[in-house]
Amino acid sequence: MPKPRSQQISLSDTPYYHICSRTVRKAFLCGVDTETGVSFEHRRHWIEKRIFQLSQVFSIDICAHAVMHNHLHLVLHVDSEQVKKWSTLDVLTRWHKLFKGTHLTKKYQHNSPLDKYELEMVEETAMAYKQRLIDISWFMRSLNEPIARQANKEDKCTGHFWEGRFKSQALLDEGALLSCMAYVDLNPVRAGIAATPEQSSFTSIQLRIKAAIKGKQPSALLPFIGNEHQNKTTGLAFSLKDYLILVDETGRILREDKRGAINAKVTKILARLHISDNSWLTLTTNFEGIFTGAVGTAEHLCVFSEHVGLKRTHGIASAEACLNSA
């Protein structure tokens, strides 16, 4: 039985989450339907454009994403500190980019006169909006509903396009975060729809590689702030160069006809994360199969379970085998 969302998300334990949303019926996000010959590749534009639009409104950053034939992967970072700095006007301006708001919130945004009671109502409403702007469920609702309407209109049908619930996994430490990002970025390679990470269209890894060639990082994604951006406080605490090498080397050996060993440079990165070479390959090929809930070391899983009120801690054996293996 699916756990309630309150037992899957705990911002006091981690701001990082893996999200997977799948379509129902014979629905495509992209690719070509082999039976009808109809191409749905254009829907990838819908998805990616909407993801980046939402990341500019919500206080939620995109760490990694991949749009597949019938499902979508996201690795999200919830920036609960940034939202605290937003004024009432900041919150309402952001909210109104996606939703209508109320008559009073619109009057406030346009600097129309309001009496004391109305101002109190606006402040109360803004507080509710502020919480929604760091809520992953609201983020996914804002992503999936417009896409479903567009797809149904195009398919000339009604009914559900997405499964009722999206899957969410808390990523409790560096090892969980990095292995999940690599798992997401290598989805097209693993599925055989791309030969290399840089050929994986509509993925975060392709955007990062294109930007890296120009000596930059994509503005739409949460940046790596390892050795390259010490002055930044918000970002992924790894070197971009190390991550690209890690994904590239892993991608080279995921194909059955290209099986090989991880080179010494990558092994050093994995040693820092306390993950063995074999465990890394297992994680990046079967992440969702190994972990059905929160992901992290055994210690982090126990703490998370206590905080969200779980009577039993799930995934201990997998954590000890894969994330405490080096």
The three-state DSSP-derived secondary structure of the chain is CCCCHHHCCCCCCCCEEEEEEEECCCCCCCCECCCCCCECCCHHHHHHHHHHHHHHHCCEEEEEEEECCCEEEEEEEECHHHHHCCCHHHHHHHHCCCCCCCHHHHHHHCCCCCCHHHHHHHHHHHHHHHHHCCCHHHHHHHHHHHHHHHHHHHHCCCCCCECCCCEEEEECCHHHHHHHHHHHHCHHHHHCCCCCHHHCCCEHHHHHHHHHHCCCCCCCCCCECCCCCCCCCCCECCCHHHHHHHHHHHHHHHCHHHCCCCCHHHHHHHHHCCCCHHHHHHHHHHHHHHCCCCECCHHHHHHHHHHHCCCCCCCHHHHHHHCCCC
State residue 260's pLDDT score. 47
Domain boundaries, the chain: 5-79+135-322, 82-132
More confident residue, 74 or 299: 74
| 113 pLDDT higher than 80 | yes
Read off the pLDDT of each residue in 111-126 and give the average, rounded to a whole number.
95
| 230 pLDDT higher than 60 | no
| 125 pLDDT higher than 90 | yes
pLDDT band at residue 171 using 50, 70 and 90 as cut-offs:
very high
Q: Percentage of residues in the chain with pLDDT exceeding 70?
A: 88
More confident residue, 304 or 89: 89
| 231 pLDDT higher than 50 | yes
Q: May I ask the CATH architecture of the domain 5-79+135-322?
A: 2-Layer Sandwich (3.30)
More confident residue, 132 or 292: 132
Read off the pLDDT of each residue in 54-78 and give the average, rounded to a whole number.
95
pLDDT digits (tens, 9 = 90+) for 21-32: 998 866 666 667
pLDDT digits (tens, 9 = 90+) for 128-140: 999 999 999 999 9
State residue 311's pLDDT score. 78
